[in-house]
Every structure is written in structure tokens, then in C-alpha cells.
Structure 1
Amino acid sequence: MKRRNNFDFLRLFAASLVVIGHGYALMGTVPPMLLYTPISTFGVIIFFSISGYLIAGSWEREPHPYNFFAKRALRLFPALFVVVLLTAFVLGPVVSDLPPRAYFADSLTYHYLANLRLFIQYSLPGVFKTNPLPNAVNGSLWSLPVEFCSYMMVPMIGLLLLRWRVLAFGALAALFASASVYLVHFRADHRFTFYAMDLRSGTAMVAYFAAGAVIWHARRTIPLNIIAALVATALYVGLSRLSIAAAQFPIATANAFLLAYVVITIGESQNLRLPDAGKYGDFSYGLYLYAFPVEQVLAEHLYGRTGQWPLIGLAFTVSIVLAILSWHFVEKHAMALKPTTRRTVPSTPQSATN
């Protein structure tokens, strides 16, 4: 029987934070901060922390590369394919300031399909050109190639460094946290990309993913305790307020572990019972995928006429409906195609991301 946990709620909460943060940005206002982090970024951090923990567990339960990647692909790509195709061939021609013939003749329309292979493209011809954040059709897609690259690390470490997994993931967390600090604080004058990924944001998220994986592998020696999580939160806040340049490297590493620990402790807590958000399905991924273009459509019509909260409320309502449809008509059926799990190692938590 599947063990009850709070991860479904946390994922939906994280997606909601992203919707709120983007609602501010797309209306030309500064997003609020949560624990000294922009609220949408905080939502993505929650996603990556949970993902590192659960994906490491999925590999430990079934250390078979084909099944592992098949499960990841079936969770990630079907819903992505649908949203990209709908955006390019339904939403795009409707909202573009170009006539349909010119829209479909423009090569940029078909360049957008590179999103299907996680080479992220943000623009469609004539779409959202005059919005406060112009030409960005779906800014949420940036994190998906980073997440897929993170997935690739898990079997590599699992196969090559079986006895040193905690140290390997810990070193990766430190490496990527330090890389993020270096790019943000010391090379702010340059733009760094790899396979269309923004390495500033990407390295930071990989650090949280790796920290989550460390916590999975050390879960029998590191107790997940709510009181300890409160202490970790206080430490995170205190460290985040420090601005000593050279100290930013160890601070970033410590913060990755502290925040991942807090998120995972809440997710695993049997005493802190959050609402069962996964009772009718996991709508967090669909909400994450659809909300940005929905908010851009609304921003095009509402900018200058109202504040960000009417946009956020309306966008959330429309996007959660699309997320529910995505789950029931696409994601759920794709996940039913997952290879049969053969348990090789006793496990504790399970989740829909298996």
C-alpha cells in the first residue's frame, strides 16, 4: 500500500508559487520574496529538492537504466509535447499580430518545436510582442532540460560510485552551488548557456537536486525531524542575510542542503498532515506547464487595467483546469505505460514520480 506523504501537496504548492511570481513579473512589477528568494524561484527550488530525493529513491529501488529513463521520459515528455504543439499551432496563430499565412510561413514557428527535444525556445512570430515581458511564450520551460540533466546524474553515480553515493552527490551539490555563485556574483557581465540552458539558474537548481539525493541516501542516519527543520530554516535565513563575497560559496552549499532538508522533512512528516492534493491526480506539472502562456494572454489584455492579483487568480483558475485535463487525458495514460517495477531494495517513500 502506498505510504501517505505530503509531496503531492508540496508540488502543487510549488507550482502555485511559480504562478504567483510569474503573475507579478508578467504585469511588469517586482515579484515578492520568500526567505530572501524570488517566490517563483523558491517554487522551482521545492520541485528540484523533492525531485532529487524521490528520483534517487526510484533508482535505488530499481537500478536498471532502461526502466529508469523510460519512466522519466514518460513523466516528462508527453505533457510537454502537447503543450508545445498547442502553443505553436493553436495559441500562436490566434494571438499573433501576423496573419495566419505569414505566421505559418515564418521559420520561427517551427524553431519553437525544438522545445520537444528540450532545446528551449521562447519566441513565436508576432506573439506577445508588446507585453511587459515581450516575446516570452512559455518561460517556465527553462527548468525542464536542467531537470532531465539532473536525472542523468543519478544512474551515472549509482553505477560508478555505488559505495560513495552520498559523497558524490554532496560534492556535486557543492560544485554546482559554487558554480552558481561564481556566475551570479563574479561573472554577472556575461551570459552563459549550454544547450539553450541558462547556466546561472541551472547550476543552482542542480545543487538542490543533488542535496535532495544526499538526503535520500543518508535518510537512515539523518533524522527528518520537524524541530530540526525549524532550526534549519532559521540557519538558512541567517546565512542568506550574509553578504561576505568569499563566503558565498560555502553559504550557497549549506543553503542547498538546509532548504532541501526542510522541504523533504515536511514532505515525509507523518505528524504534519497536509491536504491530500494527489487524491484525484497530480496536477502540479500541468499547472507549471500551462500557467505561463495563460498569464501572458491575460497580461496582453489586462496590463494597465488592473493589478497582478486578478490576473493571478484568473490564470490559476484557467491553468488548473488545463492541468486537470492534461493529467486525465495525457499524463495518467502515459504513466500507465511505465515498465513494470522489479523491487531490488526495500524502500520507504513512494510517489507518483516513480
Structure 2
Amino acid sequence: MKRRNNFDFLRLFAASLVVIGHGYALMGKTPPMVLDTPISTFGVIVFFSISGYLIAGSWEREPQVYNFFAKRALRLFPALFVVVLLTAFVLGPIVSDLPARAYFADPRTYHYLANLRLSIQYFLPGVFESNPLRNAVNGSLWSLPVEFCSYMMVPVIGLLLSRWRVLAFGALAAILASVSVYLVLFRADHQFTFYAMDLRSGTAMAAYFAAGAVIWHVRRTIPLNMIAALVAVAVYAGLSRLSIGAAQFPIATATAFLLAYVIITIGESQSLPLPDTGRYGDFSYGLYLYAFPVEQVLAEHLYGRTGQWSLIGLAFVFSMVLAILSWHFVEKHALALKPIARKTVPSTPQPTTN
């Protein structure tokens, strides 16, 4: 029997934070902060910290490259394919300012399909051009190529640096956090992208992923303790307020590990039984994928007529319905193919992870 944990709840909670943060931004408001971090960014940090921890565990249980990437692809791509195709060919022509014929004749409509290969595109012709956040069809997609690149770290380190994996993941977390600080503080006048990824945000989130992987490998040496987690929150809150030039590099590394430790401790805690949302299905990914375009549709009609909380409440209801449908009609069936993906290489079963 799989031991119960709180990760399903935390992922759904993280997706909800993203919905709230985007609801503010899409209504032209400043999003609230959580521990000096914009609330939607904090939600993504939760996702990446948990992902690093669970994916490192997945590789340790079954260190087979083909099986590893087959499982990751089956979790990531089927739901993405559906949301991209529905957005481009159903939502787009309905809400576009262009006539349907002009919309489908515009080559930019088909450029949007680059999202299927994780080269993220936000624009569809005539779509959301008068919204407070113009032309952004699905801003949540930015994190997916970062997530997939983070996955690549795990087998590379697992195969090449297995004996030094804790040191390797720790060094990688420090390097990525430092690169993010450098780009934000010292190269703010430049935009740095790789394969359509914003490297400022991407390196920061990958640092949390690497920190989560470190915590997986040291979890027996450094126990996950709720008292220690409370201390870590206090230390994190203090460090995150500091802005003292070059000292930001070690501070960023420390905060990545501290916050990942807190998140994973809550996830693994048996003394803090959070609601078992996973018994109904894992709706977090679907909520994350669908909420942004739903909120943009609502913003188009509600902006200037009501506050952001009306939009957030309606968006959560509609997006959750789509997330439930995505789980039951797409994601659950894709995950059921995992034993087929394993068939070429003998392996042992493992729990489902994001």
C-alpha cells in the first residue's frame, strides 16, 4: 500500500496560488506576496521543489533512461497537447477580433502549435488584444520547458555522477540560483532566453528543483522535522528581505534549500494530515494549464466592472471543471500507459508522481 502523504494537496494548493496571482495581474492589479515572493511565483516554487524531490526518488527506484523519460512524457505532454489544440482551434477563433477565415489563414495561428514541442508561444492573432495583459493566451506555459530541462538533470547526474549526486545537485542548485540573481540584479537591461525560456525565472525554478533533489538524497541524514521547518521559515523570511549586493548569491542558494525543505517537510509530514485530495484524482496540472486562458476570457468581459476576486472565483470553478475533465479523459488514461512504456526494460512498479 502506498504511504499517504500531503503532496497531492500541496500541488493543488500551489496551482490555486497561481490562479489567484494571475487573477490579480490579469485585472491590472498588483498580486499579493507570500514570504516576499509574488503569490503565483510562490506557487510555481512549490511545484518545482516537490518535483525535484519526487523525480529524484523516481530515478533512484528505477534508473532506466527510457522508462524515466517515457513516464515524464506521459505525465507532461498529453494534457498539454489537448489544451494547446483546444486553445488554438476552439477558443482562439471564438474570442479573436478577426473573422474565422482570417484567423485560420493567419500563419501566426499555427506558430502557436510550437507549444507542443515546448517552444512556448503566447500569441494568437486577434486574441485578448484589449485585455490589461495583452496578447498573452496562456502565460502559465512558460514553466513547462523549464520543468522538462530540470528532468534532464536527474539521469545525467544519476549516470555520470552517481557517487557524488548530493554534491552535484547541491552545486547545481547554487549555480542556478546565482545565475538567476546575476541576471536579475546585474543584467536587468537585457533579456536572456534559451529555447523560448526566460532564463531569469527558469534558472531560479530549476534551482528549487535541484534543491528538492538534494533533500531526497539526504532525507535519512537530515530528517524532515516540522520544528526545523518552522525555524527554516523564519530564517528564509529574514534572508529574503536582505539586499546587499554580491551577498545575494549565497542568500539565493540558502533560500532555495530552506524553502524546498519546508515544502517537502509539509508534504511528508504524518503529523499534519492535510486533506487527501488525491483520492479523487490529481487535478493540479489541469488547473494550472487551463486557468490562465479561462481568466483571460473572464478579464475580457469583467475588467472595469468588478473586482479581481469575482474573476478568481469564477475562474477557479470553470478551470476546476476543465481540470477534472482533463484528468478523467486524458491524464489518467495516459498514465495508464506507463506499464507499456516500461515493457522494453524490466523494472519494478513505482508510485505515480508529477
TM-score under structure 1 length normalisation: 0.97
Which letter maps to 1:343? T
Residue 62 (structure 2) aligns with: 62
Matched residue of 2:242: which SS? coil
Residue 185 (structure 2) aligns with: 185
> Alpha carbon RMSD of aligned pairs, Å?
1.0
Residue 12 (structure 1) aligns with: 12
Residue 241 (structure 1) aligns with: 241
Distance 2:191 2:241 in 1: 26
Residue 298 (structure 1) aligns with: 298
1:10-52 CA-partner distances (Å, limit 9, x unpaired): 0000000000000000000000000000000000000000000
Q: Which runs of 5+ in 1 are unaligned?
A: 345-349
1:171-212 CA-partner distances (Å, limit 9, x unpaired): 000000000000001100000000000000000000000000
Residue 44 (structure 1) aligns with: 44
Which letter maps to 2:317? T
1:251-298 CA-partner distances (Å, limit 9, x unpaired): 000000000000000000011000001111000000000000000000
TM-score under structure 2 length normalisation: 0.97
**Would you say the 8 A contact 1:150–1:209 is kept in 2?**
yes
Matched residue of 2:246: which SS? coil
Q: CA deviation at 1:342?
A: 2.2
Distance 1:232 1:352 in 2: 29
Q: CA deviation at 1:351?
A: 4.8
Distance 2:16 2:131 in 1: 22
Distance 1:236 1:343 in 2: 38
1:337-348 paired onto structure 2 within 5 Å:
337-339=337-339, 340=342, 342-343=347-348
Q: Which runs of 5+ in 2 are unaligned?
A: none
Q: CA deviation at 1:352?
A: 2.7
Determine whether 1:30 maps to 2:30. yes
Distance 1:188 1:272 in 2: 41
**Aligned residue pair count:** 349
Q: CA deviation at 1:243?
A: 1.0
Matched residue of 2:280: which SS? coil
1:129-171 CA-partner distances (Å, limit 9, x unpaired): 0000000000000000000000011000000001000000000
Distance 2:5 2:165 in 1: 25
- Identity of paired residues, percent? 86
1:321-336 paired onto structure 2 within 5 Å:
321-336=321-336
Distance 2:170 2:37 in 1: 22
Distance 1:318 1:343 in 2: 38
Matched residue of 2:12: which SS? helix
Moved over 3 A (4+): none
Q: CA deviation at 1:225?
A: 0.2
Q: CA deviation at 1:343?
A: 3.4
1:261-280 paired onto structure 2 within 5 Å:
261-280=261-280
Determine whether 1:286 maps to 2:286. yes
